[in-house]
Structure 1
Amino acid sequence: MAEVRIRNTDERISGEEKVRAFLDSQEVLYEHWDANKLPQELQNKFVLNDEEKEQILKTYDAEIRDLAARRGYLTWDIVALSDATPNLEELLKKFENVHTHTEDEVRAITAGRGIFIIKGTDDVGYFDVELEAGDVISVPENKPHFFTLMDNRQIVAVRLFIETEGWIAHSYSDPQFNK
């Protein structure tokens, strides 16, 4: 289950309903899908071939299509990151800069763990959303944020897009942000 940490106060928010209510107040969509729906052999596998990626997409087809229909997403794929990923450090450097998008950034975590750092309202400031398998998040367009891996450095996620070109980031310089 996702957990939120507000950086200015170090307050932690846990429990699905409390996390959902907080994220809703910050205009961030949060849902939870059944992580156990994924076949056991894929629940802790972070290097995937095309057939395995397709199997994950088929497993969550109903959930993906429901979310896409509600939010206008047109295309989706699988991203898998681990220490076995070529150029992982370069990819993380690209991800780990505060940026915005002209569409929502959507991730449905199917295995592993990751963290979104998101700029909230003025009274909240930046907050971390720690995600694990089953957690689904949609950071709204133009909301400053970035994504990185947790200490275990392993994640598999479904990404959904409106733009058929996929992930396009726009740098966001913010003197209020410190890692």
Structure 2
Amino acid sequence: MAEIRIRNTGERISGEENVRSFLDKQEVLYEHWNAAKLPAELQEKFVLSDEEKAQILSTFDEEIRDLAGRRGYKTWDVIALSDATPNLDELLKKFESVHTHTEDEVRAITAGRGIFIIKGTDDVGYFDVELEAGDVISVPEHKAHFFTLMENRKIVAVRLFIETEGWIAHPYDDPAFQKAQ
């Protein structure tokens, strides 16, 4: 289950309804899918064949299509990152800078853990959303954020897009952001 840490105060928010309520006020969509429906052999697998990625998409087809229908997403895929991923540290450096997009950044975590760092309203500032299997988040277009892995450095997520070719990170320079928190 997702947990939030507000960086300015150190406050932690947990529990599905509390997380959803907080993120709703920050205009961030949060949902929870049943990760246990994923076949056991894929629940802790972080190097995936195309067939295994297709199996993940098939397993969550109903949830994906429901979310896509409500939010206008037209295409989706699966991303798997772990220490076995070539050039993982270089990839993470690209992820780990505050940026925005011209469409939502959507992740449905199916295995592992990850964290979104999001710029909230002025009274909140930056906050971390720690995600695990079953958590689904949609950071709205133009909202400053970045995504990275947690200490286990393993994640599998379904990504949903309106247009994959239009999904480009736009750097967001913010002197108030402090990386090492």
TM-score (norm 1): 0.99
CA shift digits 1:42-88 (9 cap, x unpaired): 00000000000000000000000000000000100000000000010
The 5 A counterparts of 1:14-25 are 14-25=14-25
Q: What CA distance in whole angstroms lies between the structure 1 residues aligned with 2:100 and 2:145?
A: 7
CA distance in 1, matches of 2:90, 2:100: 19
For residues 1-179 of structure 1, the aligned pairs below 5 Å read 1-165=1-165, 167-179=167-179
The separation in 1 between residues aligned to 2:44 and 2:4, in whole angstroms, is: 23
* Cα pair 2:24 2:30 within 8 Å, conserved: yes
RMSD over aligned Cα, in angstroms? 0.6
> What does the per-residue CA deviation read over 1:137-163, in whole Å, with 9 as the maximum and x for residues that have no partner?
000000000000000000000000001
Please say if residues 23 and 29 of structure 2, whose CA atoms lie closer than 8 Å, have aligned partners that are also in contact. Answer: yes
Aligned residue type for 2:72: G
Partner AA of 1:41 in structure 2: E
- Say if 2:116 and 2:129, in contact at 8 Å, map to a contact too: yes
Structure 2 residue runs without a partner (length 5+): none
Any gaps of 5 or more consecutive residues in structure 1? none
In structure 2, C-alpha distance between the alignment counterparts of 1:90 and 1:166, rounded to whole Å: 22
Question: Which contiguous aligned blocks of 4+ residues in structure 1 show a shift greater than 6 angstroms?
Answer: none
Whether the 8 Å contact between 1:74 and 1:164 is mirrored in structure 2 is no
- The 3-state SS of whatever aligns with 1:165 is helix
